[in-house]
């Protein structure tokens, strides 16, 4: 029986994970849960899986949860300390699925406590990849990739010699504006940006997908996951989202992981690793029905966020943390209707240009870089009203 701690239990990754736990109750149980604003859904999860510890975003949410599960005998906590409490509960694996830098402290706390981590919260490695990797090595902890692209690379590298890897190739759907002319992007509406053609995700990740920032963050994440030089990490646009990523080896062989676009597949691979779980409820991939599979080079002129991510990764130090913090504020500003769509990359570029980079940062310096970047992004967003 493998015990799970889940950060972000009410989001898409969390609910999919719990669906798999429910399907395989003889193999998995839930030690702790941390949910977001959907307290009703969190209450349902508490009743169904009976964790020992549950966290909400704030004390108001905790009080509401207590009223919804009056017979719950476990511990209900709130805020940042509550997230750390959930992450360090008595579990074999932490599912880190929060959105944004919020997941940094609790995920690091779990690693320090010796708990293996399945990471869907890409910002954790984007902001603090070097720190996370070094701490995991000291603690003897494994960090597994849950994102479909990195999970695909993980599968394609299984049993292979890392020294024989020539490059890794991340695929991107291209989002809703793959063929939209540059001038039309100036007038993109929020409704248009939230219409992802393939995946069903939260608002922030959907916007990141549309700007290709999501893929930029994944490039940075891949660098830390797989120890591959930045110039050996490529991105291709693949609108069908059937090939989830590929690895090319020094003999010219390319191993790709294909599958239906359903997050239950990569999550189940990590939950059962090194075994595979039988997902008989999912349809098989029908390549005949899928038809033509397309691949295109990304256009970094129309989608400069991808270029900015490569720039930040090459700069190292606190640059990636600054890029991520500024992006979270810029995307939130667009979601709130305070800036235009193309203001997102403009704000990111402005913040990166102003940033006094710190090399080899510790946790305190990373947190300060994140704080500074958010403050500058807010100021730049205000100037664009």
Task: Classify domain 2-145 at the CATH class level.
Answer: alpha beta
Strands across the sheet containing 53-56? 75-78, 53-56, 28-34, 2-7, 93-96, 116-119, 143-145
Is residue 274 reached through a cis peptide bond, with omega within 30 degrees of 0 on the bond before it? yes
pLDDT at 123 exceeding the cut of 90? no
| Residue 253: predicted pLDDT | 98
Question: 121 or 340, which is more confident?
Answer: 340
H helix or E strand, kind and range, residue 331: helix 319-335
Q: Is the pLDDT of residue 121 over 70?
A: yes
Q: Give me the chain's average pLDDT, please.
A: 94
> Which has the closest alpha carbon to 169: 244, 227, 229, 220?
244
Give the mean pLDDT of 146-150: 93
Has residue 385 got a pLDDT over 70?
Answer: no
Neighbours of 164 (CB within 10 A): 12
| Cα diameter, the chain | 62
pLDDT of residue 175: 87
Question: Computed from CA positions of residues 274, 269, 232, 242, in that sequence, does the dihedral angle turn out positive or negative?
Answer: positive
- Condensed to tens digits (0 to 9), the pLDDT of residues 185-232 reads 999 999 999 987 766 667 888 999 999 999 999 999 999 999 999 999
Residue 99: predicted pLDDT: 81
User: Which pair of structure tokens corresponds to residue 33?
Assistant: 């849960």
CA 77/CA 86 separation, integer angstroms: 9
* Lowest-confidence region among 266-280, 303-317, 357-371: 357-371
Closest CA to 320 of 329, 311, 328: 311
Q: Is the pLDDT confidence value at 54 over 70?
A: yes
C-alpha span between 266 and 366 (Å, rounded): 30
Which pLDDT score, from 0 to 100, does residue 146 have? 95
Share of the chain above pLDDT 90, in %: 89
Where b means 16+ CB within 10 Å and e means fewer, 292-311 reads eeeeeebebebbbbbbbbbb
Q: Is the pLDDT of residue 102 over 90?
A: no
- In eight-state DSSP terms, residue 94 is E
- Three-class SS state of 30: strand
Region 242-268: mean pLDDT is 96
Instruction: State the Cα–Cα distance between residues 383 and 385, nearest whole angstrom.
Output: 6
CA distance 91 to 105: 17
Using the structure block, give the residue that is written with the tokens 């979601």: 335
What's the pLDDT tens digit per position in 297-337?
999 999 999 999 999 999 999 999 999 999 999 999 999 99
State the Rg of the chain over Cα.
Answer: 20
Quickly count helices (H) and strands (E) in the chain. 17, 11
Please name the fold of domain 316-385: Rna Polymerase Sigma Factor; Chain: A (1.10.1740)
Predicted local distance difference test score (pLDDT) of residue 202: 76
Q: What is the pLDDT of residues 81-90, one digit of tens each?
A: 999 999 999 9
Residue 276 has pLDDT above 70, yes or no: yes
Tokens of 142: 């494994």
In tens, the pLDDT along 61-82 reads 999 999 999 999 999 999 999 9
Beta strand spans in the chain (E): 2-7, 28-34, 53-56, 75-78, 93-96, 116-119, 143-145, 165-172, 233-237, 243-249, 254-258
Q: Which two tokens stand for residue 271?
A: 């939950």
Average pLDDT, integer, range 342-349:
97
Section 147-157 average pLDDT: 95
Please report the pLDDT score of residue 261 as a whole number.
87
Give the residue extent of every domain in the chain: 2-145, 148-262+281-299, 316-385
């Amino acid at each position: 029986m493998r015990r799970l701690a889940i950060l972000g239990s009410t989001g898409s990754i969390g609910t999919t994970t719990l669906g798999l736990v429910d399907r395989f109750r003889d193999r998995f149980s839930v030690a702790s849960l941390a949910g977001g604003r959907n307290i009703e859904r969190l209450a349902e999860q508490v009743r169904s899986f009976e964790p020992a510890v549950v966290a909400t975003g704030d004390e108001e949410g905790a009080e509401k949860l207590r009223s919804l599960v009056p017979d719950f005998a476990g511990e209900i906590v709130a805020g940042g300390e509550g997230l750390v409490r959930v992450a360090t509960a008595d579990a074999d694996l932490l599912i880190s699925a929060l959105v944004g830098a919020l997941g940094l402290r609790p995920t690091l706390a779990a690693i320090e406590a010796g708990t293996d981590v399945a990471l869907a919260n890409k910002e954790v490695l984007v902001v603090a990849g070097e720190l996370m990797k070094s701490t995991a090595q000291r603690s003897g902890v494994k960090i597994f990739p849950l994102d479909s692209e990195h999970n695909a690379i993980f599968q394609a590298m299984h049993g292979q010699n890392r020294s024989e890897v020539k490059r890794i190739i991340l695929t991107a759907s291209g989002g809703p504006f793959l063929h939209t002319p540059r001038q039309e992007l100036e007038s993109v509406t929020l409704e248009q940006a939230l219409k992802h053609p393939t995946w069903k995700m939260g608002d922030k990740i959907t916007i990141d997908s549309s700007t290709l920032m999501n893929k930029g963050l994944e490039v940075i994440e891949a660098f830390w996951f797989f120890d591959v030089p930045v110039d050996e990490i490529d991105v291709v646009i693949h609108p069908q989202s059937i090939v989830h990523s590929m690895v090319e080896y020094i003999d010219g062989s390319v191993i790709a992981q294909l599958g239906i676009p359903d997050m239950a597949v990569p999550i189940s691979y990590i939950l059962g690793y090194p075994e595979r779980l039988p997902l008989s409820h999912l349809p098989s991939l029908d390549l005949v029905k899928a038809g033509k599979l397309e691949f295109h080079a990304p256009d970094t002129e129309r989608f400069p966020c991808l270029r900015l991510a490569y720039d930040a990764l090459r700069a190292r130090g606190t640059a990636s943390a600054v890029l991520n913090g500024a992006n979270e504020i810029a995307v939130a500003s667009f979601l709130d209707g305070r800036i235009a769509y193309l203001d997102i990359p403009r704000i990111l570029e402005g913040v990166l240009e102003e940033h006094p980079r710190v090399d080899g940062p510790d946790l305190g310096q990373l947190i300060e870089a994140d704080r500074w970047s958010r403050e500058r992004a807010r100021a730049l967003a205000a100037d664009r009203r």
